[in-house]
Structure 1
Amino acid sequence: MHGAALAGDQDFSIVNKTGYPLKHIYVSESHSGSWDEDILGRDVLNDGEAFDVAFGKAEKTCKWDMKVAYDDGETAVWENLDLCKISKLTLKWNKSTGVTSAIKE
């Protein structure tokens, strides 16, 4: 109860269903022109694991960009994610197209 009272509207979970570990995840305000620091820090988000992203209660911005990087350096970017409406992003990788997709919930 206490934690929920302090939660920002933008809080969401990232679920890695790509089949590969994610080494870096960056989340920045849309159109900021740069990426904030890696929210995973030194950790890796292994396949099948989830990572909870928390925002401060005072944060008002809803539109955010997200970039993920695999350990081989490949990246995927999503722009203008409305985190006020998204509570979970499940990331999947399509072997035939080489594209990482995000299923929004």
Structure 2
Amino acid sequence: MKAILTKVAVAAASLFILHGAAQAGQQDFTIVNKTGYPLKHIYVSESDNEKWDEDVLGRDMLDNGESFELSFAKAEKTCKWDMKVIYDDGESAVWQDLNLCQISKLTLRWNKNTGVTSANIE
């Protein structure tokens, strides 16, 4: 069990590097919160992973109008990723099969008429 936990910890550490990394991967992208509400958690996992990796936000909240840059290790080759955001009230939104090799920015917006969170891809 300890070996599995160590492997998971090493994999998570090698996938996500804090903003400003010199050896950035081609999957790096910026999340812009234009939902009108704070986001409490952001999870990004390989699309073929059945579980969510750790919260990549690494801080208390991503307030409305703020952005967050997510950087990957240069050695990371996977392009297809899933993303889940959780609002401060516990509501969530999920996107699957995001090709992060072709995305540089995701602007999240919430439509109060439909109750749907969308992501504008750039």
Report the TM-score when normalising by structure 1: 0.94
Q: Which amino acid aligns with 1:58?
A: A
Deviations 1:10-46 (A, max 9, x none): 0000000000000000000002000000011232100
Report the TM-score when normalising by structure 2: 0.81
Runs (5+) with no aligned partner, structure 1: none
- Backbone CA RMSD of aligned residues: 1.2
Does residue 43 (structure 1) correspond to residue 55 (structure 2)? The answer is no
How do 1:15-30 and structure 2 match up within 5 A?
15-30=32-47
Bigger CA radius of gyration = 2
Partner in structure 1 of residue 77 of structure 2: 60
Runs (5+) with no aligned partner, structure 2: 1-19
The total of aligned residue pairs comes to 103
Distance in 1 (CA, whole Å) between partners of 2:51 and 2:34 is 26
Distance in 2 (CA, whole Å) between partners of 1:59 and 1:35 is 17
Query: Could you list the runs of 4 or more consecutive aligned residues of structure 1 that deviate by over 2 angstroms after TM superposition?
Result: none
Identify the structure with bigger relative contact order (alpha carbons < 8 Å, sequence gap 6+).
Answer: 1
Which structure dedicates a bigger proportion of its chain to helix?
2
